[in-house]
Structure 1
């Protein structure tokens, strides 16, 4: 069965009201998309950030009276609002969504592969990770920067911390690449659940331990990973330094280029910092803890 798609642009503040309006007019689904390529960084638990300029799309059955729906929208939101109405070909939408994800290589050894895809190289280090609600599937520059560093590191029998683990992608990569134990910390219970589930899927549950902040034991990590945001990285600097062993490696991301100098300067109290690695607007900072 074909469908009718009704699309309009609105503000982030009004997006929720527009979504409710379309559902009330009989839409079988409503999607919200970024209109102007505005980045949304990792939200705190329970928060649902919306773009300042949002495109709201309602999906309706083909026999709907589009004139009546458009009149109702204009009556509620104002006659000045442009509305785009278009026919939409019927498809297997689940299959369409699944086909849009392909295995991705990070460095020479490491691949991230959706569970429904066959790994490109069965002899590589293949992490099976499906897109989900928790932050981190490898497609964002900050995650890719960290994965490429892990791919080139010697992690055999190392103790690793993934602070702000999200989906567990960095932790699981470290375990697959030889780490002995990976301690995962996140303030979002959903992230801890996702990390456990993904660790089990990749058969590394015995080397992954998850904790909310404040509950992790006092350990000395050979590698400290933190892919969060510049502000939290600076406020956590003393704590993360204290959890890192002498001569331990530090890997930080979630940092914009214009924030890199401040973050690097903060960590120079404990680490000998390397030049930043850059990917688009984002950077990765690394360093080695002083003895």
Structure 2
């Protein structure tokens, strides 16, 4: 997997480091899995940090529950995707054990549901989100629309599904500054200089109130994981076959159609790779 690394841009001339102010605003739709209440709290704190420190307009299902409950999950997700279609705004996919497990389920494995999904009135939002975005994501011209990241203190590289390996995967919060420039469609590293924003680095993002709240949420979940190494398995709930059938019949068959599209896209992609070999 290719990851952004500061080591590939090392410079002995610290005069090349240019501190730039945050003047531009960006908009991002965040896609994630509700793996655990403490992980969901991290996602919410990240949204607060993006808004308060970075001036980023964030779209998240939990922050738009009223509209979502009115029009339904598929319609809400499709509406957000269309809003971003012809703009420079981004879709940020936060990978975690739940994202990997649910993707594997969509590829033919057993359906996965967490306690958070079961308790939420919105249910599992990740699976329909992947159903809508993957057909576009696998097309090379669409890579610029998406950013993939994971919180390295509570998740790992193995939580990134293989389908996302074609994109740069950012480690948060270590590489948050690189991700921030990506959201702005700017390059952090340019010939002869390195752009820098105070308070966005892995060592100082917690220097502001929203950053401290985010750091505290990450550390709290990290400590929980140390005492509960099988935490994700503990969060999974049993899903009966009849429940699966009922869910697939919802939304007038839209989700079934999305699954078919995904399988077709992946088959085409696989055939193209084989032809080049």
Normalised to the residue count of structure 1, the TM-score between the two structures is 0.27
Q: Which one has the bigger strand percentage? A: 1
Using CA pairs under 8 Å that are at least 6 residues apart, name the structure with larger relative contact order, 1 or 2: 2
Higher Cα Rg, which structure: 1
More helix, by proportion: 2
